[in-house]
Every structure is written in structure tokens, then in C-alpha cells.
């Protein structure tokens, strides 16, 4: 056993003793619910439970490529609500930034498209946006890029943008444009596959706010070596975490549990100050 016990105090001691120098953090929608962004699968409050108005055949269709191809409007109705810039990072996001400032964040793998980790200060080169982001957009047919300002206009107007590119013979492409967030039926970004072995080189894994129900992201914690402590901060146990000797389950609200972890590291005041800025 690597940790003295399977408690937050033992994790705090492990970090304070300088044994965690390469921390890999994995996040999902649960770290942003307290910022006001719904997660996907929580019964009642999750996005998938509240899409009746879009009249979808099934909830995940709104993020499914085949469905989008025939009916892109529901996505654009939702896109306006999800578009980054309207929300403030939580103390959980600030904690990831604190790990980076302490020089012990190896990588953050996020499934989120809200860009709140970045907004909290985590630098680009530390973030793997496994499910893409709203940062760029392209045509689903010719893959050509599309201007940002026209994308913003489409999102504001809840209208569907079409590709402006022409084929070599001068034919307009006119394909559907979508933000480069990963839909079901699409490959994850190359950066995910280039870095997916990093958990095996980590000395601490922290998984927060995810149901770990979407592969291949859900496999990341299993790449950690036996003996590498894995901490789960989530309202429910997920993904088989807890099955190893050095797994620590911190079940409850992310922000509250993160404060406990920061306290165990002796960083709570610093974290609160950083978040308040």
C-alpha cells in the first residue's frame, strides 16, 4: 500500500511529503454544475433529462453526428446556452490551477467544453480537451475551417451555419458547420491519443465530477499503475474506482470535497484567495 490509509488526510500527507509531483487530473461536467452549467446524466437536473423541448428521438442524439447531419437545429438551440463566456470557474477549477502553480500538475484531461479550467488559469499546454471545445469550428463534410465571427452570429441567432468553401471545380461545399466539440460517432482529438499513456507515469490520479460512462475517456484511470493512488471526488462512486488498495473515495459535492483536500494539504486559505481573485 502506498498511502498510510484510504483517507483524505493520507492523500494530503502524501502531497505534503512531496511524493506527488506528477498529478493527472480527469474531469467531467460535475465540476461545473455549481457554476450553473447542468451536467448530462444527473436525474432531473442533467441536460439529457431536460431536452423534451427539442423533440429528440433520444437525448444523446443532440450530440450525435448522424442525427446532426439530418437535423442540426436542436444542437444550435442548445449551443447558445452552453457557449463559454457566461460562467465563472468554481473553486474546483481553481484547485486544478493551484496544482499547476505548485508545479505538480502533469496533465488535465477534461471532457468539458465550457473552457472553465482554462479560465481558472490552467495553461493550454496542460489541458487535453478530450471532447474538443468551442474554440474552433469546421465543416462536417470538407472539414474546412469556418470564421469565428460568423459562428458567433449563428449561435446568437440559433441558426445553422453552412460551409463557405468551394471544391477545386468551383462547386460550393455548403456542408454543415459545427464547433469542434466531439460528437458521438466522431474520433477524439489526436492530443488525447498522444497523451493517453500519461496516467501510467503519474504518481497521483484525481478524478472529479464525471460518471465515467463515455469511452475511451472512461478508461484513463485504469492506465494508472497499481500502487498509484487514485482519488475520486464525485457525488457517486463510478468507474470501478475504489477497487484498488490505494483508491480513495471522496463522495459528495466537488467544491466541498476539494476544500477538504486543500485543507489536508495545508492550502485552503491559499486556494480560497486564488479563487476569490
Known binder of ligand: residue 163?
Answer: yes
Work out which of 81, 236, 269, 272 binds ligand OAD, going by CB under 6 A.
236
For ligand OAD, which stretch binds (CB under 6 A), given 41-49, 73-81, 95-103, 137-145? 41-49
Contact call for residue 42 and ligand OAD (CB under 6 A): yes
E-assigned strand segments in 171-262: 177-181, 204-208, 230-234, 247-251
Cα 41 to Cα 119: distance, rounded to the nearest angstrom:
24
- Cell triple for residue 75? 444542437
Given the complex with ligand OAD, which of 30 and 203 has the nearer CB atom?
A: 30
- Part of the chain binding ligand OAD (CB under 6 A), chosen from 71-79, 115-123, 135-143, 228-236: 228-236
Q: Quick one: DSSP state of residue 16? A: H
Residue 175 in the binding site for ligand OAD (CB under 6 A): no
265 is annotated as contributing to ligand binding: no
Binding flag, residue 234, ligand OAD (CB under 6 A): yes
Q: Which stretch binds ligand OAD (CB under 6 A): 8-16, 34-42, 194-202, 269-277?
A: 34-42
Grid cell 486564488 in the structure block, residue: 274
Which residue in 93, 107, 118, 131 binds ligand OAD (CB under 6 A)?
131
81 binds ligand OAD (CB under 6 A): no
C-alpha to C-alpha distances, 229 to 104, 108, 140, 241, 249, nearest whole angstrom:
15, 16, 41, 11, 11
Asked if 25 interacts with ligand OAD (CB under 6 A), we say no
Task: State which H helix or E strand residue 90 sits in.
Answer: none
Nearest 5°: the CA angle 28, 31, 36 is 115
Residue 134 found at the interface with ligand OAD (CB under 6 A): no
The sign one gets for the Cα dihedral 79, 85, 90, 91 is positive
101/236 with CB nearer ligand OAD: 236
Judged by DSSP in three states, 82 sits in helix
- Give the closest residue to 30 by CA, choosing from 44, 42, 22, 14: 42
Residue ranges that bind ligand OAD, judged by CB under 6 A: 28-30, 33-34, 39-42, 46, 60, 63, 111, 131, 182, 184, 209-211, 213-214, 234-236, 238, 253-254
Binding-site sequence positions for NAD(+):
29-33, 39-41, 111-114, 210-211, 234-236, 254
Amino acid at each position: 500500500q502506498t498511502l498510510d490509509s484510504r483517507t483524505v488526510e493520507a492523500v494530503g500527507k502524501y502531497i505534503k511529503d512531496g511524493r506527488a509531483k506528477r498529478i493527472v487530473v480527469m474531469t467531467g461536467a460535475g465540476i461545473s454544475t455549481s457554476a450553473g452549467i447542468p451536467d448530462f446524466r444527473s436525474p432531473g437536473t442533467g441536460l439529457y433529462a431536460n431536452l423534451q423541448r427539442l423533440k429528440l428521438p433520444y437525448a444523446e442524439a443532440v450530440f450525435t453526428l448522424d442525427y446532426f447531419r439530418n437535423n442540426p437545429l436542436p444542437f444550435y438551440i442548445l449551443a447558445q446556452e452552453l457557449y463559454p463566456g457566461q460562467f465563472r470557474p468554481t473553486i474546483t477549477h481553481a484547485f486544478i490551477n493551484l496544482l499547476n502553480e505548485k508545479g505538480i500538475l502533469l496533465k488535465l484531461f477534461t471532457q468539458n467544453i465550457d473552457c472553465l479550467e482554462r479560465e481558472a488559469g490552467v495553461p493550454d499546454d496542460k489541458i487535453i480537451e478530450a471532447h474538443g471545445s468551442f474554440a474552433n469550428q469546421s465543416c462536417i463534410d470538407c472539414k474546412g475551417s469556418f470564421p469565428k465571427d460568423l459562428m458567433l452570429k449563428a449561435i446568437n441567432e440559433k441558426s445553422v451555419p453552412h460551409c463557405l468553401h468551394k471544391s477545386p471545380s468551383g462547386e460550393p461545399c455548403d456542408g454543415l458547420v459545427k464547433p469542434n466539440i466531439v460528437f458521438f460517432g466522431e474520433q477524439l482529438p489526436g492530443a488525447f491519443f498522444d497523451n493517453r499513456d500519461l496516467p501510467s507515469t503519474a504518481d497521483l490520479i484525481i478524478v472529479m465530477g464525471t460518471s465515467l460512462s463515455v469511452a475511451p475517456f472512461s478508461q484513463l484511470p485504469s492506465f494508472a499503475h497499481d500502487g498509484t493512488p487514485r482519488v475520486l471526488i464525485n457525488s457517486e462512486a463510478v468507474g470501478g474506482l475504489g477497487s484498488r488498495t490505494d483508491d480513495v473515495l471522496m463522495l459528495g459535492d466537488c467544491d466541498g470535497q476539494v476544500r477538504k483536500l486543500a485543507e489536508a494539504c495545508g492550502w485552503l486559505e491559499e486556494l480560497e484567495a486564488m479563487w476569490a481573485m
